[in-house]
Chain A
Amino acid sequence: MDETPITELLVRWREGAPDAEAALMNVVYPLLRELARSRLKRGSFQAITLDPTELVNEAYARLQIARETPWKDRVHFFAISAKIIRGLAVDYVRARLADKRGGDTVFVSFDLAAEQAGPHSDAGVDVLAIDAALAELEREDAVCARIVELKYFSGLTTAEIAEACGISSATVVRHWRFARAWLADKLGTS
């Protein structure tokens, strides 16, 4: 059992140690899954609410990550968690559909990060559709895709996303503007 404190893992990961990310994911994933499940159970059949910010904050606390952790590490923690949460949401929805207890689509509400509305700000999001669109976007424009993933699944602000991706805030804003229009057009919704 890996007893290395998370903080160390984060530092190692930030420094680019090859195994650090995997190690981090191994620790974080089960926790997030447990947290997400307990929340998702509470929701109603058709509409469930998933708050990435809340989830990750709680995971962060549970992992007892030291409070003096530099802001950048916190941001990166959130960034990694985003990918996990995306996967969790997709798995959950697929499982729900397999149960055939619901309708054709299960909607998941996301409390989107502060600044901008995405194609569906408070309304339900078709997670599978977003996931598929994201996968396509990842093939063609990795940076844009990463930004979208973080916007939806991490609860990070523009500045934090910029930090996580190593680009400027202005770039994030521009890419997001394009990506959300592209998504809205692709998903055929407004």
Chain B
Amino acid sequence: MTERDGDDTLARLRELFIESVDLPPVERAAFLADLRTRDPAVAAKLAALFDADAHLTQRATEPLLPQLAPLRRASAHWVGRRIGAWTITRELGAGGMGAVYLGEPDGGGAPVAIKVLHADFVDAPERRRFLLERGVLARLSHPLIARYVDAGEHDGSLYAVMEYVDGAPILAWADRARLALRDRVALFLRLCAAVAHAHTHRVVHRDIKSSNVLVGADGVPKLLDFGIAKPLQPVFDGQRVERTATAQRWFSPHSAAPEQISGAEIGVGTDVYGLGVLLYELLCGEPPFELAGLTAGQIENTILGVEPDPPSLRALGGPPNVADARARLRGCADRTALADALFGELDGVALMALRKNAGERYASVDDFAADLRNALGARPTEASRARRFAPVLDAIRRHRVVAAIGVVALAAAAFAALSWRRAAAPAETPIALTVAPPEPVAAAVAPETRLAHALTQLRRDHPAAALELVDGALATVDATDATVDLRVRLYDTKVAALLRLADIGAARAAIDDGLAIAATPRQRALLGWRRVEILDARGRGDEALAVARELAEHLLPSLGADDALALAIRARVGNAPPVAAEPDCATTLAGGAGVEANAETVQRFSRCIAQAGASGDAASRLALQVAYGRLLNRTGDYAGAARVLDAAIASARNDPALRRLDTHRVATLASAIAHYGADASDDNRARLRGELTGAARIAGDAGRLQWIEQSALARALGVSDEPL
């Protein structure tokens, strides 16, 4: 190798490193994967450099800026000294560039909090501005804002005196009090009023975060560090720098708004963003971005360019028991219930406050609060209207489709098609995006979770949302043998959603995509059945029947008795082609939760149950009976439900195979609910509590959904499986 070659290699490596080291994690992994296909040796070297770089960053524990060193001596030094009319009695906390102390006034009275900053941290213009702002801050008077008392300079150090607030940070407090969702929002709205008040006095907080909102024993939140935040924040090389006392790590500014990082103009929108971050975590228990372990550059790029997942989706992510516990802290039965509660309007409001471009967020905190009230009151929100104008951009960002050039062209066309309102989106450049990397990257929410969420959305009759979730999952799932089943189910759900949206062409394409990877008979049956549905939907009953017969002949033997799919196929084959207006029993069965209880439904159920009984299909009959019973429970006809369900259980008494089915387990729960609903005796209550503990024995997704639905009913009746 000549020296020239050597130059090229290292210089090239250097350029690649510089270009990619601070990309957000997913993009960086994609970059590496792409490079690996072209030059594996260089890619390996680059990966090693990323590792080394990460280690170096983590080891930056010692004060790298010599100016920070004096600070370690500073704290002890202030206790006992006087500042103004107060004596400092103890330290309350320490941050990177200053500490907060408790100050007792001469002659007794309410104590104050005194924040002292080492003067080295503030340059001359900052200091002047700080001292000037005193007048403005003194005018802020609001019950939910820690009162500003005084500020000045003492012995080379700047200090600020404010009302002492004894309380816990709002996020911790809400969890400790196990505050239900609505109550959290109510608490948050009070906070919004305080911030809005300050805005009318033209003061922007700039650092709204949980540790700056303390809630006292009386449940009243108070906002701290108002307006003091800015001058007391040291700026080095344009980067905000702070070190927490306990963990010697660089402060990860996860509540920093994009404009605070890029140095653009700070304004009311910055506080809207900060409030948005707080709301997000209040709602779902996770911050909008997972920044732990990222380099400073990656953190910046993430905040500037990566769109957060909706809170409802985050509510589902992570280990299930942790997610469920988080949901219960918010008064929800489990994570699915929490996700359901957040989905849609609340999601939209939180995300709108977190837009990268300040111009796209709420114009004021009052607008934010008003929309939040709209969301709670199930009224249309500004957020949902705004969202409709940027579906393509959202799809592109979240689904990570197509190479950069394609994206720019597509986006350009999309911009042209977007109408007048909210066309401010172009300010953000699409990040270079590639297809899901083969290298496993920790996605915030697993594909399985997205699938479960999508199924829920289908049930609630939101096919567009389900489609988006499924596409998101398909884009991020690894294409390996292990995931074939998951992917087939994803395609199946995609088809279901597309059918509801009446997009037959796309549905057929999705079926073909799924069949291309389908490996087992069940997987082929699943997708094949969709063909039957399509043909029925287009009124081609004969062809539908033919396809159903083929499925029955070739694939049915491989399917289990419990299988809803098998039931559907069998039912289809057993029936004469359905009359257009009359849905057949499979649909009745599949309709499940969306079905209403009226005379027609009752008739349909009766007929189908009789039919199943006549044809000797015990499993179908049981399934239908249970579906019917669940429906009756939901509508409060407990006596009727008890009759149907007890009959179902009785008929399964002599059939062990039937008793092992998920449907049967749901039946016993539903029956217990029905009996308790009809007669709230202690015995019935005890029985119901006992049934509720049986969730673990449910095997399939469909059964689980039914179980959750019924257990929610139990909760509504005041019975849960939690310890008394």
Interface of A toward B, CB cutoff 8 Å = 114-119, 121-122, 137, 139-141, 144, 174-175, 177-178, 180-182, 184-185, 190
Contact = CB atoms under 8 A, between A and B. Distances in A.
Interface string B1-35: 00100110111011001100100000000000000
Contact of A177 (B9, B11, B21, B66): B21
Nearest to A185: B52
B7 A178 contact: no
17 contacts: A114-B65, A116-B60, A121-B64, A139-B6, A141-B10, A174-B18, A177-B53, A178-B14, A178-B18, A180-B56, A181-B49, A181-B56, A182-B49, A184-B53, A184-B56, A190-B52, A190-B56
Nearest to B53: A181
A118 to B, nearest CB: 8
Contacts of A182: 13, 49, 52
B55 interface: yes
Contacts of A139: 3, 6
A178 B10 CA distance: 10
Contacts of B21: 177
B60 A117 contact: yes
Contacts of B11: 140-141
Interface string B41-71: 0000000111111011001101011100000
Contact of A119 (B10, B14, B56): B56
A141 B15 CA distance: 12
Main secondary structure of the interface of A (DSSP, over half): helix
B56 A141 contact: no
Contacts of A181: 17, 49-50, 52-53, 56
Given A115-B64, A117-B60, A174-B18, A140 B7 contact: yes
A144 B56 contact: no
The 8 closest A-B pairs by CB, nearest first: A190-B55, A184-B52, A140-B10, A181-B53, A185-B52, A181-B52, A181-B49, A178-B14
B470 to A, nearest CB: 40
A121 B17 contact: no
Given A140-B10, A177-B53, A178-B49, A117 B62 contact: yes
A160 to B, nearest CB: 15
Contacts of A117: 56, 59-60, 62, 64
A69 B18 CA distance: 36
A184 B65 contact: no
Contacts of B52: 180-182, 184-185, 190
B14 A185 contact: no
A185 B48 contact: yes
Contacts of B17: 177-178, 181
A140 B3 CA distance: 7
Nearest to A171: B18
Contact of B7 (A114, A141, A174, A190): A141
Contacts of A122: 62
A116 B236 CA distance: 13
Given A140-B9, A182-B49, A184-B52, A177 B62 contact: no
A114 B62 CA distance: 11
Contacts of A141: 7, 10-11, 14
Contacts of B14: 141, 144, 175, 178
A121 B13 CA distance: 25
B58 to A, nearest CB: 9
A109 to B, nearest CB: 13
A122 B53 CA distance: 17
Residue of B11, B14, B18, B66 with highest tally of chain A CB at under 10 A: B14
A26 to B, nearest CB: 31
Interface in B409-467: none
A137 B50 CA distance: 18
Nearest to A120: B59
Contact of A114 (B48, B55, B56, B66): B66
Given A117-B62, A185-B49, A190-B52, 4 more contacts: A141-B7, A141-B10, A178-B14, A182-B49
B251 to A, nearest CB: 17
Given A139-B6, A175-B14, A121 B59 contact: yes
Contact of B55 (A121, A178, A184): A184
A19 B7 CA distance: 29
Contacts of B64: 114-117, 121
A114 B48 CA distance: 26
A170 to B, nearest CB: 10
Contacts of A185: 48-49, 51-52
A139 B1 CA distance: 13
Contacts of B9: 140
Contacts of A116: 60, 64
Interface string B341-372: 00000000000000000000000000000000
A119 B53 CA distance: 9
A137 B62 CA distance: 28
A137 B11 CA distance: 11
B377 to A, nearest CB: 51
Contact of B65 (A115, A175, A178, A180): A115
Residue of B18, B48, B56, B59 with highest tally of chain A CB at under 10 A: B56
A99 B187 CA distance: 73
A135 to B, nearest CB: 13
Interface in B186-217: none
Nearest to A182: B49
Nearest to A180: B56
Residue of A114, A140, A190 with highest tally of chain B CB at under 10 A: A140
B543 to A, nearest CB: 63
A10 to B, nearest CB: 27
A190 B60 CA distance: 11
A15 B21 CA distance: 38
